[in-house]
Structure 1
């Protein structure tokens, strides 16, 4: 009897990401969630200031960072195990319920700082799984050739949320106090849930089609798969792979995923299943995967150095610089706006073009140029010149960040993308903010010029690493 095997239908390309309804639904959900986050932090800060001393309010605002930093690696494991869409939907549902509950309590009572601190801790815990899942989701909603464009669209959404969220939060506080602002934040986060439910997940090959730079690891995985298949076929059993998870989680037992079957080391022995996968084992596999990848490992180092050199000067350092130069709050606002405009222009460029040639080299060059501009910001005398320099910083740093983010997406095996995003997120959200108090103390000791110059050197080292590592320097985005 002859059996005809009909290959599965391949979904036709949906065209550019900015015209793909699936991507636009994801973008709408992401934007609503980010605006809700901005409104939430305005409401939290206002409620904390009204309920306690300034130091207590600062503690409430900072307490969410601790569980986020400590648990984010585990959050990456959760995102890869259960699929990023499920995790994002669940996270937004929990955040929405928590915020609306606090809003209801504030409408009827004044429970005090303990409730706000508890809410901040809950947000930090949920963020630890939410953020890696958010980073892993774009690779599931569009093709690899559109990931750079999606990264630009995501950057525009972040800028829009920053611009719109703070005024909305202030309006909510003005109309009905913190309770109204919390309710508004919860409703905005709630909007994202049905949109995310309507987003379709794409089928992706187990290796993501992106791991060409990691030839040694790919070859080893292929050898394992071939050996296992040969052992099964020798026993006269048809080798049938398990179906993939429709939500994007890697199929268990997949020979090229993080839970691969490994053949026995003895000559001629059939393949045997490895020990049951655990969260700790998944975490170690993810860290080993990053460490052995010839593009991702130096890319994460580049991102870390760029963030460490950038966050301090452009946050607390800028306020101190404006105060010492006599620019005033309005002058500082103009500088911050110029930076935001530059970063928005970089995101718009990537969203429009969809890709840039020599992405690794271009990202490194932009990071080096941005580091020079950071050092120059402390040397300009007037507000007008500072606005021009800040515009350049935003453009160059925004371009570098978008390209690094797109390379992170396209170079990662989808089965590991949650863990890869978690490691990069720990650096950006856990380590980089620690530089802010150090920057303030250093400016008090040595002044703005030397500290900005030192930060520029740290930031520039990221560009040097990217140029020095051949595989990262030659990395390209798919076209």
Structure 2
């Protein structure tokens, strides 16, 4: 590919970061993410009321499976059409789907309505996620990219704090249509923020590859196989995502029950982690480039491994809560650093494909982590399963350190 094509794929940002544009985009994303949380909690809660555990499983699978599959195509679409086209179209379709669902829910709420909406929502979010992941490198210069990603992480961490209880309250009050309406409004706000700001992001100008879209689903794996530095950074993220998946999701309630603590202990530990993660991302945004990304990535990765192991060894709930908050801080520092270095290492003309693979690392490894760690917990004990899973986290800083030794292309 010519140098001209690469430049068009990701134009050089201005020297002075356009923070007003970044703020508009991330503000719209924040409103949309709050709406997404409202929808997920509302859909699961309403499904539980209508059809019990089976309905909850159906809704959860209907959202997660199409989302993971659509991400594969989402990265290819982003590279072929540009992020602006993909984001505006997927968000517009989401608005239409949610508006229709809101009207139907007023008169005929049902589990199958929730399943259908969850499947369409999952697919559309999957198509758009890689494109949104490419916006910051296209809008912000190299030295400020880490700060922009830190602010984006803060927005993502804040959304569940607001959206989850709001969604639960709406459904508890019997207001499923209102919950769907809130999500629709969130998408409208996101669209209004994206449309003017992304005008300056030019679409790819290279000649079409001529390869059918379905034949390009393996582009992400080919990219990782051909680029050693990108592959190692991907494996670093995969190790940390795998180590987090079971302990901080199904493993935590199992451990709490095994130790005879109250159910509220789960909420306390998760809340401490979320608060720490929000603080960590804030510290990362303030620090900027004064602490090199490489130090933040490797240092916080080691901290994550140590703290995950420490949590399962904690003698009391209070100690576990403190360690969980510290774990959140390390997560808030690690996430933006990992994403920034990964974005800088990715080829400009295949940034969408690269971001799709990074997103899949988080979503795709969860089912395997749940199955393997859950089976180990059943055969041995929750403590041993937690500790073994936590040790995988140390693969993150090890592979990241190896990647950082490879010169940039």
Tell me whether 149-158 or 392-401 shows the greater mean CA deviation: 392-401
1:285 CA displacement: 5.2
Q: Which runs of 5+ in 1 are unaligned?
A: 1-9, 203-246, 254-258, 260-274
Q: How far does the alpha carbon of each residue in 1:12-44 deviate from its partner, in whole angstroms, 9 at most, with x for none?
A: 5444x6xx2111111111111111100111221
In the alignment, is the contact (CA less than 8 A) between 1:139 and 1:414 conserved in 2?
A: no
The size of the alignment, in residue pairs, is: 398
Whether the aligned pair in 2 keeps the contact of 1:378 and 1:448 (CA below 8 Å) is: no
Larger radius of gyration: 1
After superposition, the C-alpha distances for 1:396-438 in whole angstroms (9 at most, x for unaligned) are 1222222101112222233211100111111211222431243
Alignment match of 2:194 (pick from 181, 196, 210): 196
Relative to 1, partners in 2 of residues 1:153 and 1:82: Cα closer, same or farther, differing over 3 Å? Answer: same
- Cross-structure match for 1:426: 360
Return the match for 1:309 from 228, 233, 243. 243
Q: Which has the higher helix share?
A: 2
Asked if 1:379 is matched to 2:313, the reply is yes
Q: Distance in 2 between matches of 1:12 and 1:82?
A: 23
TM-score normalised by length of structure 1: 0.78
Indicate the residue corresponding to 1:248 in structure 2: 202
Q: Contact 2:50/2:111 (CA < 8 Å) preserved in 1? A: yes
**Deviation at 1:165?**
0.4
User: Which deviations, in whole Å up to 9, do the C-alpha atoms of 1:360-415 show, x marking residues without a partner?
Assistant: 34312311221111111111121111111111211112222221011122222332
Distance in 2 separating the partners of 1:404 and 1:164 = 26
Please state how far the C-alpha of 1:448 moved relative to its aligned partner. 2.4
| CA distance in 2 between partners of 1:378 and 1:289 (Å) | 37
State the Cα deviation string for residues 200-254 of structure 1 (Å, max 9, x = none).
455xxxxxxxxxxxxxxxxxxxxxxxxxxxxxxxxxxxxxxxxxxxx4332124x
Q: Distance in 1 between matches of 2:161 and 2:343?
A: 26
RMSD: 2.3
Q: Which has the higher contact order (CA 8 A, sep 6+)?
A: 2
| Residues 338-353 of structure 1 aligned to structure 2 (within 5 Å) | 338-353=272-287
Distance 1:405 1:172 in 2: 34
Measure the CA separation in 2 of the matches of 1:452 and 1:12: 46
**Structure 2: how far apart are the matches of 1:467 and 1:12?**
30
Q: 1:324 to 1:11 in 2, by over 3 A?
A: closer
Unaligned 5+ runs, structure 2? 1-11
Runs of 4+ in 1 over 6 A off after TM superposition: none
Residue 257 of structure 2 is aligned to residue 323 of structure 1: yes
Provide TM-score, normalisation by structure 2.
Answer: 0.90
- Tell me the CA shift for residue 71 of structure 1: 2.9
C-alpha distance in structure 2 between counterparts of 1:195 and 1:65, whole Å: 26
Give the Cα separation in 1 of the matches to 2:56 and 2:217.
Answer: 35
Aligned mates of 1:448, 1:286 — CA distance in 2: 35
Separation of aligned partners in 1, 2:295 and 2:166: 40
Aligned to 1:221: none
Deviates more, 1:433-442 or 1:39-48: 433-442
